[in-house]
Amino acid sequence: MEHEKPVAISRLGFWEKGIHICIASVFILSFLCLSLQNIHCFDIWWHLATGRWIWTHKGIPFQDVFSYTQKGHPWIDFTWGFQTLIYPIYKWGHFAGLILFKTLVLALAFFFLYKCLRLATENSLFIWPLIFFVLLVSYPRFMVRPHIFSFLFVSLFLYGLNCYLQSLSWTYFLGLCLVFLLWVNLHGSFLIGLYISGAYLVGELVSRYKWQVKDILKSPLMQRLSLLCIVLALLTFVNPYGVKLLKFTLFSHTGEGGEATKYIAEWYHFPFKEIFLFKFNHALFFKLLFWMVILSLIWGRKPIVIRDTLITGLLAFLTFKHARFMGLFAFTIAPIIAQWWPSFKGENLLYTGLLTLAFVFLMKMIILNPYFKKELGFGMAKESYPVQTTAFLKRYTLKGRLFNTYGFGGYLIWHLYPQYKVFIDGRTPTIYPPEFYWQYRVAESVCLKAFKRLAERYKIKIVLTKGKEFAHLLKKEPDWTLIGFDDRSYLLVQKDILPPSIKPFFYFDPTEDIDKLMAQYKEKKQLSLLVSELKRAEKEFKNVVLIYNNLGLIYAKKKEYQKAIAYFRQAVKLDPYDPSNYYNLGLAYKNAKRWQEAIKNFKKALSFDKGYAEAYYHLGLICYEKKQYKQTIAYLKKYCKLAGDTAVPSAYEYLGLAYYKTLCLEKAIKYFKRAVLVAKNKEEEKKNLYNLGNCYFGLGRYKIAAKYYKRALEIDPQFEKAKFNLKKTKERLKGEYQI
């Protein structure tokens, strides 16, 4: 009996280890899924281009070299260390090398976060919800950009600082200084490290408010901590730009700079009122961490700690001001929560619930999200960039300055510099003044006259834009012409620089609705001209989904369904994650009366977009043709619910017919009446009046039936079916109703 207790303890330890191994495995798998993803951010390109410039010129840039609008403008390149690092990595491993490098940096960040949490709490189960929450808050920022080092350095810095305060070892002191020096030259978030050190110093001073000054000065911990803060402050100047870097990092995004960032997605503010709302997205886990840290500081195991209150205050302020700091908030705040989280009965049940919540969200995001597989990979997300139009510009050297969309700037710098310099790129407000950024926004989005003034001032001859409306308006100008396009962009030039080797597009206009173009050229019997230009575009601009979809739509209009299907299948092959591609293919199969293939593709479209109303509509019509009336009703009702008041009349008509076939005549009447009310022409109105007559006849309400047959005959006196049924109705009335 004396050995039973040790055996039980051993088994319990085994199961605990097993549970932790399972949780850790889920975390690692989730982390890899969220990190090993194709590159889709815009700024990586100008970072790579800067790294290439640094290695080529063996120096650091102090002035802008990539744009013609800000040529020679002073440039405080506060991420020069990151750029110097990633360019040789790209040369070695291309995109796969960059993605693996990013994953390694982030893995180290989570490793040191785990070490911090282990220092802060002995409850190993509580560590896992915190780590998962940090993952779910920060994963939208898992990009190959210098800010990933802020995650690594803040967790490494917190771990090293706590170890240093416990041991006062010079090894940790030197390690912290080295880490901080690297941080200063890799990303501007080094100010967070300096602030954290200062918060620790202030916290220690406040905790000794009853001490004599001489006793404080003699304290080894205060001496070492003060020395560390002084050395770190001095290290902020150890960079190629000296004090200018500190000044830039502190003030570049305030004042007018802050005004410009309001229009850049990553600098959007996070409304404070959102903290009180429940939405099942990644911000929910930021909210949970926020309330957990508030609870920890107020009701924690010890009185409120000034140090941690200062850190929480700054990170919360930054996050509410700019949502991009959400991930950094999570990495910084998690150790504070772990240290001060209050103990209570049944706490492990709460931690299990929090873990379950994280697991459910991960399942929803990774397993149940049909688009997630699209993100996985070791390359770049080509659909995010103007790939074909940029390649076209590289093949043909056009003499003239280029106006480009803001987001495209970095991609163009990497691929076209020095052949072309850009108008603007993602270095606002680092390089481009807020007023200039405003001028760009107005010119591309709302005011063609503003663009013309900029074109005159900067001698712009080429435009590469994502703005469909802007391109449409510019194409109408007599001195501009469209020479290229892809799924992401439109390329236009002034006619006076157009070489004979480049043919513009006279007939096909990618900024125009294809149905409108088809109607226009069909009337002129010139559809072949539209097709020939699209086929020329197919040869010049490879793998453009828009081209294949438009060719498919034209052939479908010509009722050449086999050709239409071939082009739509090519569109699906190029972009298997766009529901509209499956919808177009399904529609071609439906018109060719290949019901099974049509159903398969409509359902595939719905698997990506459950709100794709038109897919439900056509599924309903197919089911009616197959005499599957109950399914017809289900699909068409779903369509009507999604389409609302804009539902097409035929949806009501077929709903009425399906209910009629299933002998639900009262419901059929409801939908036939709707079909009559919104009928587009007399023919539709006539059919549904006749259908209403049939419903009332079936119900034995012959007077009303006769009325609807008469209305149908008023529209078409030669409507034989209505005549016949009206005669039958008269016979049933047996003289009760006089015509």
Is it the case that residue 16 has pLDDT exceeding 80? no
Pair of tokens at residue 350: 């709460």
Tell me what pLDDT residue 243 has.
Answer: 93
Tell me what pLDDT residue 736 has.
Answer: 56
Tell me what pLDDT residue 730 has.
Answer: 85
Same domain assignment for residues 657 and 693:
no
Q: What is the rounded distance in angstroms from the CA atom of residue 186 to the CA atom of residue 188?
A: 7
Is it the case that residue 216 has pLDDT exceeding 90? no
Tell me what pLDDT residue 265 has.
Answer: 73
Tell me what pLDDT residue 12 has.
Answer: 45
Instruction: Answer whether 711's CB lies under 8 Å from 683's CB.
Output: no
Residues β-bridged to residue 380: 39
Least confident stretch, 207-211, 452-456, 676-680, 693-697 = 207-211
Look at the block and give the residue holding tokens 């991930």. Answer: 327
DSSP secondary structure letter of residue 343: P
Same domain assignment for residues 218 and 268:
yes
Q: How far is CA 48 from the centre of its chain?
A: 22
Count of structural domains, the chain: 5
Mean pLDDT over the full length of the chain? 91
Question: What pTM does this model have?
Answer: 0.90
- Coil, strand or helix: which one is 482? strand
Is it the case that residue 4 has pLDDT exceeding 60? no
Q: Tell me the average pLDDT across 236-255.
A: 87
Is it the case that residue 48 has pLDDT exceeding 80? yes
Residues β-bridged to residue 481: 493
Q: Does 456 map to a domain?
A: yes
Q: Tell me the average pLDDT across 309-335.
A: 94
Q: Does 80 map to a domain?
A: yes
CATH number at residue 640: 1.25.40.10
- Confidence band of 428 (pLDDT split at 50, 70, 90): confident
Q: What is the rounded distance in angstroms from the CA atom of residue 111 to the CA atom of residue 77?
A: 29
Is it the case that residue 528 has pLDDT exceeding 90? no
Tell me what pLDDT residue 293 has.
Answer: 94
Same domain assignment for residues 29 and 104:
no
Q: What is the rounded distance in angstroms from the CA atom of residue 296 to the CA atom of residue 336?
A: 8
Q: What is the rounded distance in angstroms from the CA atom of residue 333 to the CA atom of residue 127?
A: 13
Q: What is the rounded distance in angstroms from the CA atom of residue 263 to the CA atom of residue 265?
A: 6
Same domain assignment for residues 645 and 730:
no
Tell me what pLDDT residue 437 has.
Answer: 93
Same domain assignment for residues 197 and 284:
yes
- Coil, strand or helix: which one is 135? helix
Instruction: Answer whether 706's CB lies under 8 Å from 737's CB.
Output: yes
Is it the case that residue 229 has pLDDT exceeding 70? yes
Name, in order, each residue with C-beta under 8 angstroms of 589's C-beta and a sequence gap of 6 or more.
561, 565, 595, 597, 598, 601
Tell me what pLDDT residue 11 has.
Answer: 45
24: amino acid identity, one letter: A
Same domain assignment for residues 222 and 328:
yes
Is it the case that residue 522 has pLDDT exceeding 80? no
Q: Does 594 map to a domain?
A: no
pLDDT in tens, 20-30: 889 999 999 99
201: amino acid identity, one letter: L
Domain end point (choices 497, 512, 532)? 497
Is it the case that residue 58 has pLDDT exceeding 90? yes
Q: Tell me the average pLDDT across 561-584.
A: 96
Q: Does 561 map to a domain?
A: no
Q: What is the rounded distance in angstroms from the CA atom of residue 215 to the CA atom of residue 601?
A: 79
Q: Does 410 map to a domain?
A: yes
Q: What is the rounded distance in angstroms from the CA atom of residue 138 to the CA atom of residue 105?
A: 14
- Domain of 393? 382-497
Domain end point (choices 497, 513, 539)? 497
Same domain assignment for residues 692 and 668:
no
Tell me what pLDDT residue 257 has.
Answer: 66
Same domain assignment for residues 257 and 338:
yes
| % residues pLDDT > 90 (the chain) | 76
Same domain assignment for residues 216 and 247:
yes
| Residues 460, 464, 467, 470, CA torsion sign | positive
- Confidence band of 256 (pLDDT split at 50, 70, 90): low
| Most confident among 198-212, 361-375, 505-519, 613-627 (mean pLDDT) | 613-627
Tell me what pLDDT residue 346 has.
Answer: 80
- Confidence band of 221 (pLDDT split at 50, 70, 90): confident
- Confidence band of 525 (pLDDT split at 50, 70, 90): confident
Instruction: Answer whether 50's CB lies under 8 Å from 59's CB.
Output: no
Look at the block and give the residue holding tokens 């017919």. Answer: 657
Query: How many other β-carbons are positioned within 10 Å of the β-carbon of residue 419?
Result: 12
Same domain assignment for residues 11 and 94:
no
Q: Does 48 map to a domain?
A: no
| Most confident among 132-141, 220-229, 516-525 (mean pLDDT) | 132-141
Q: Would you say how long the chain is, in residues?
A: 739
Tell me what pLDDT residue 137 has.
Answer: 96
Is it the case that residue 9 has pLDDT exceeding 50? no
Tell me what pLDDT residue 709 has.
Answer: 92
Q: Tell me the average pLDDT across 532-540.
A: 93
Same domain assignment for residues 233 and 332:
yes
Q: What is the rounded distance in angstroms from the CA atom of residue 575 to the CA atom of residue 320?
A: 37
**Angle, helix 702-715 to helix 720-733, in steps of 10 degrees:** 150
Is it the case that residue 653 has pLDDT exceeding 50? yes
- Confidence band of 545 (pLDDT split at 50, 70, 90): very high
Tell me what pLDDT residue 215 has.
Answer: 75
Q: Does 632 map to a domain?
A: yes
Domain end point (choices 678, 700, 725)? 678
Same domain assignment for residues 453 and 480:
yes
Tell me what pLDDT residue 6 has.
Answer: 39
Is it the case that residue 86 has pLDDT exceeding 70? yes
Helix, strand, coil share of the chain (percent; to 5): 70, 5, 25
Q: Does 580 map to a domain?
A: no
Tell me what pLDDT residue 738 has.
Answer: 47
